[in-house]
Amino acid sequence: MIVTCVHVHVVPGRVADFKEALRLNYQGTAGEPGNIRFDVLQQADDPCRFMIYEVFESEEAVKQHKETPHYLRWRDMVAQWMAEPRRGIRYNVLEPSERSLW
């Protein structure tokens, strides 16, 4: 599994636009064959900050995701609404491990 947490800081006044664009990207991503999870979170104490928790089956699935029309549309649309560049951080999955699923 490939797990990435994408941290996004949106400029004030564009949060509603960002949420709508993200909703459309979510709908497309959730239907992708290699997508396992795509959770969208808004920070409780700062509504301009978001985290996207992405889980894909493989590097190939991540690559395919980044070539989809819905992702490319989202990426280009929201770029001007960012207070700073978005940051994707990869994580290694420790649990559940294959052994703990037995």
Dump pLDDT digits (tens) for 10-39: 999 999 999 999 999 999 999 999 999 999
List, as one string, the DSSP characters of 63-101: HHHTTSHHHHHHHHHHGGGBSS--EEEEE---SS-TGGG
The whole domain housing 43 covers 2-101
Least confident of 63-72, 75-84, 87-96: 87-96
Our count of domains for the chain comes to 1
- Number of residues that this document lists for the chain: 102
Distance (Å, rounded) from C-alpha 78 to C-alpha 32? 21
Cα dihedral across residues 72, 89, 86, 26: positive or negative:
positive
Kindly report the number of other CB atoms within 10 A of residue 95's CB atom: 7
pTM comes to 0.89
* pLDDT score recorded for residue 25: 96
DSSP three-state, residue 17: helix
Asked if residue 65 lies in contact with residue 37, where contact means CB atoms within 8 angstroms, the answer is: no
pLDDT tens per residue, range 42-76: 999 999 999 999 999 999 999 999 999 999 999 99
Q: What average pLDDT does this structure show over 78-94?
A: 95
Q: Which CATH number is 27's domain given?
A: 3.30.70.100
